[in-house]
Structure 1
């Protein structure tokens, strides 16, 4: 009998497996979201994998083709967390809505501050500085005391650059958004629950504020800046959540890969 060689162990995942796994995960996630999309892959110049999401028939709320959004950024973060597991090749995946995303430029490290000039040594250090000559001053009459003035009121803080009050914007009517925002405000007031709507355009935030005007028992305000700005519904009488709706007190370390 001839001695057989031991079976070879499977090698680590190849480079092409990143695209296969990314395509499978994206198809499953977008299907669960209810927004399927056709995926277009392309190798980026920095070695990452760029993916264009062509939503069919249309993108989810808050997503515009050719522009960044919180929805696509969150999906990209989740996808890379699921792909970069121990023992698996690490290759960053970029997502774009309707277009192939371009790699983001990396910040260059700042140059260190120049070192201070060395202290003088030798004869220069031993030489004492020349005393300053006293300038003669002419005697001047004492000025009369001015009457005391009332302290000026503190100046109002300047408005932040680019900040606009949505309540002052003139926008067109949106019947569906008007009804949904008003219903959510009434629900927040009746149940005592806090709600928030994110990833909205400035015009839509203005429509929400106009729609909830007059709803008693709830205050609707805009919080945050830029892409992180959101509309928050705060009831006047908050109610505690039922115990069955509370999240279990699990250790965060259990969820680390």
Structure 2
């Protein structure tokens, strides 16, 4: 049993038949758009067909006579898509508003330019390197200079103090933020009630101190700062953790899917 046979290609349309088809399609499309127009045709030497759209009741918004626009370009694209069907000889249609469009100019690739021949220039003689003078001995540092450089080590000693403050934000003295304190207490109560673990990340050290002070006295949850530097966060650990329902867990390798 032989396979499906491809249909033979459609016969090529004559110039008169092609122009009549273009006129019929353009008239229908412009009528549906509400902008009827008189059509002016002209054959282009490259084989395409140029059409001028002379709108009878005014051009659409954004369309100017003799200039390209998105409306005319979209109409041209749609018309060529409808004309260039499989098995039909392709012939492009160019549209212009109020005037015939200019023919398309095909860009020829630039000819390669041969590099100029390199002139043979004899290498210049290298000058003799001058003798290096012995480097002068470095002067011994003056006692006064050493006395001035000694206090520079003081800021380095402040780094351990800063890290110690970050490790225990509760010791910082900060102003109260009522909205942040209320949100922190609600999150602590939610962690205690549901048995869920929560964490607040990407916070300033002052905001972490406000959160830790706001949750003091909330029963059933332990709140503390964990991590260092940018990775430091406030973690809410419930006193009685509760397992997640199975529908929130990923299936194991030996399971077929989720359970309802």
Rg bigger for which structure? 2
Greater helix percent: which structure? 2
**What TM-score range do you get, normalising by the shorter chain?**
0.3 to 0.5
Q: TM-score, normalised by structure 2?
A: 0.42
Q: TM-score, normalised by structure 1?
A: 0.42
Q: Which has the higher contact order (CA 8 A, sep 6+)?
A: 1
